[in-house]
Amino acid sequence: MKNKMLNQYNIVLKKELKDAFRDKKSILATFVLPLILFPLFFLIIGLSGDSLTEKAVNPRLTIVQGDAIASLSTDSEEYQYFNDNIFSLNSSLQVSYVEVEDFKQSLIDGDIYLAIIVTNTFLNDIQDTTKSVDIQVIYDDRSTSGSTAAGVIVDLINTYSEKLLADRVNEIDPDLSMEPITGNSLSLSQAYDDINRYGTDSAILHLIIPMLLTMLISIGGASIATDLVAGEKERNTFEPLLSTGASRFSILSAKYTVIIIFSFLSAIAEVLSIVLSMLLTKDVFATSAFSSIYLPVDGVILVVFNLLMLAALFSGLLLILTSTSSTLKEAQSKSTIVMFLPMIIAFATMYVDVADVSMWTMCLPIYNVIISIKLLLAGVMNYAYLWGALAINIVYAVLSVFVTMKTFSKESLITK
C-alpha cells in the first residue's frame, strides 16, 4: 500500500515538475526575476551612488558676504582665500563657482548646491588669533546632492580650522601634542583573533539576506501554487485527475513538494544573485564580510530545517488558497494577500539586536526564521533560540499539513 502510494506520488511529482519547468511564466517569476533583480538593484544603487559622489566632489557653489544676496566675484580676495586654503585641501575636489544675483533663489531653483556665507570682515578676522570666525554653509535640505556637498565643504572648513590651530600652537611650542587623548573602538573580533564574529556593519549580510531568503522561502512558490489546483480546475483537468486510481493524498503530497522545491530554488537563485552582484560591484559593497564568514555546521543545519518548516507552512497555506479558488485569477488575488504577511513581519526584524533577542519571539513564524539566520550570520550561536524556533516551526508546519489535507478532502473542492 505504502509502495503504491509512493509510486503514485512519484508519478504526480514527475509530471508536475515537467509541467512547471515548461511554464515560461513560472520560470520567469521563480528564477529569472530573482536572479536579475539584485544585480539590477545594485547597478541602480551603484549608479546613483556614483552620481552623488560625483556631485559631491564637483559642487556648484557660491560665496556671499554679510547681508548681501549677490555672490562675490571670482576676483574677490575672499574667493581666492577659499580656493587657495580650503578647497585645495581635497585634491579631487573641483568646485564649479557660480556667480548669482540672488543666492537664495538660486538654491531654490537648484542652480547651486550650496552658498558659503562669510562675514564682512572675514579676511581680517581669520588673521586675528583671538577671534572665532563664523562661516555658514546653506544648502537646500530637499536636495541630497546639496546636503552631501555641504558635508564635504564643512569637513574641509573644519580640517582647515584644525590645521590653522595646529600652526598657531606650533608657533608657541613645537613639542606640544595636538592629540593629548585619542579614543578608538574595537569590536571583539577585531581585538581577539579567537573570536569569530563578523560584525553588524554589513547591511547586505544582516538585513537583506535574512529578509529576502525568508520571504522567498515563504512565497517563492506562489506562482506555481496557484496553477497547481486552481489552474487545473480552470483547465478542466482536476476532476479527471481525481477520477484516476491515484489517491488524493498522493496527489496532494506531490503538489506540496513541488511548491517547496520551487520556493527553495527561488531562494537559492536569490542568494546566488546577491553573491554575484557583490562580486560584480565589489568596490561599492563590502565583499570582505563574506570572505571572513565562518558558519558552524550545526547552526547551518538548524537554520535549513527552520527554512524547510517555514516552506512547509506556506506551501500548505498556498495550497489551501488555490484549492478553495475556482479560477486562477481568484487564486492569484488570494495569494497576493498572503504575500504581504512575510513582508510586514520581515520589516519588523530590521533593527533587532541579535545579541539581545527576546526569547518569546521564537513563537512568531517568519520572524523566528529571520532571527535564526541573523544569529547564524553574526556568529551568535543562541542554541536555545534556534532549537526553540525549530520546535515551534515544526508545530506550525504539521498544523498546516493537517489543515491542507482536510481542505483537500472536502467535497467543496469539486462542487464549488
Partner 1 sequence: MLSLNNVTKVFKKYDKNFVAVDDLTFNIKEGEIFGLIGTNGAGKTTTMRMIATTLKPTYGDIKVCGYDSVKDDAMVRKCIGVLYGGDTGLYDRLTARENIEYFGQLNGLSDEAIKKQMDYLVEVFGLADYLDRRCGTFSRGMKQKTSFARAIIHNPQVMLFDEPTSGLDILASEDVLNFIKQCKKMGKTILLSSHNMQEVEELCDRALIIDRGQTLCTGTLSQILELTNTKTIKEAFIKLVKREN
- What cell was used for 28? 520567469
Of 179 and 411, which has the nearer Cβ to partner 1?
411
Q: With CA atoms as reference, report the closest residue to 249 among 11, 19, 5, 17.
A: 5
d(Cα 133, Cα 325) in Å, to the nearest integer? 73
Q: How far is the CB of 334 from partner 1 (least distance, A)?
A: 20
Of 131 and 235, which has the nearer Cβ to partner 1?
235
Q: How far is the CB of 13 from partner 1 (least distance, A)?
A: 12
> What are φ and ψ of residue 84, in 5° steps?
-80, -35
Q: Is 4 in the site for partner 1 (CB under 8 A)?
A: yes
Size of the site for partner 1 (CB under 8 A): 26
Q: How far is the CB of 247 from partner 1 (least distance, A)?
A: 6
Bridge partners of residue 117, in order along the sequence: 64, 136
Q: How far is the CB of 8 from partner 1 (least distance, A)?
A: 7
Q: How far is the CB of 315 from partner 1 (least distance, A)?
A: 21
d(Cα 74, Cα 97) in Å, to the nearest integer? 8
Q: How far is the CB of 269 from partner 1 (least distance, A)?
A: 21
Of 173 and 411, which has the nearer Cβ to partner 1?
411
Q: Is 27 in the site for partner 1 (CB under 8 A)?
A: no
**AA identity, residue 368:** N
Q: Is 320 in the site for partner 1 (CB under 8 A)?
A: no
d(Cα 51, Cα 44) in Å, to the nearest integer? 10
Q: Is 415 in the site for partner 1 (CB under 8 A)?
A: yes
Long-range Cβ contacts of 261-265 (<8 Å, 24+ apart): 261/17, 261/221, 262/20, 262/26, 262/30, 262/220, 262/221, 262/224, 263/216, 263/217, 263/218, 263/219, 263/220, 263/221, 263/311, 263/314, 263/315, 264/217, 264/220, 264/307, 264/311, 265/30, 265/31, 265/220
Contact region with partner 1 (CB under 8 A), list: 16-24, 108-116, 281-289, 375-383: 16-24
**AA identity, residue 130:** T
Q: How far is the CB of 415 from partner 1 (least distance, A)?
A: 7
Per CB under 8 A, contacts with partner 1 among 234-273 are 235-247
Q: Is 22 in the site for partner 1 (CB under 8 A)?
A: yes
- What cell was used for 362? 521564537
Q: How many CB atoms lie within 10 A of CB 302?
A: 21
Of 231 and 365, which has the nearer Cβ to partner 1?
231
Of 177 and 243, which has the nearer Cβ to partner 1?
243
Reduced to 3 states, what is the DSSP secondary structure of residue 139?
A: strand
Contact region with partner 1 (CB under 8 A), list: 119-127, 196-204, 229-237, 299-307: 229-237
Contact region with partner 1 (CB under 8 A), list: 109-117, 185-193, 290-298, 407-415: 407-415
Q: Is 102 in the site for partner 1 (CB under 8 A)?
A: no
Instruction: Please check whether residue 212 is in contact with residue 203, taking contact to mean a CB–CB distance below 8 angstroms.
Output: no
Bridge partners of residue 60, in order along the sequence: 96
Q: How far is the CB of 413 from partner 1 (least distance, A)?
A: 9
Q: Is 405 in the site for partner 1 (CB under 8 A)?
A: no
List contacts with partner 1 (CB under 8 A): 4, 8, 11-12, 15, 18-19, 22-23, 232, 235-247, 411, 414-415
